[in-house]
Structure 1
Amino acid sequence: AVSEMSSLIGVMRSFEANQKIMQVHSERMAKTISELGNPN
């Protein structure tokens, strides 16, 4: 049971890290798109 808990915690941590990466990526994409839309 302990090993299952620790592996579950590991999965949750990697999932949270993945979410953070995706959030940063989508923010960068939105910034790039808005900059392309405004040729100043």
Structure 2
Amino acid sequence: MEVYVGTSGWMYDWNPDGFEWFIKYSELNAVELNASFYRFPYPNQ
């Protein structure tokens, strides 16, 4: 079994490096796409 731990929060004013910072320092192996959190994604997403 594989377990993925991630977050939907990686873009904040206090973190101008955004996703690059997340990749380098968080040590999490997944991110959540907020669009899919609030509704089912459209086929083109």
With the shorter chain as reference, the TM-score category is: under 0.3
More strand by share: 2
TM-score by length of 2: 0.19
More helix by share: 1
TM-score by length of 1: 0.21
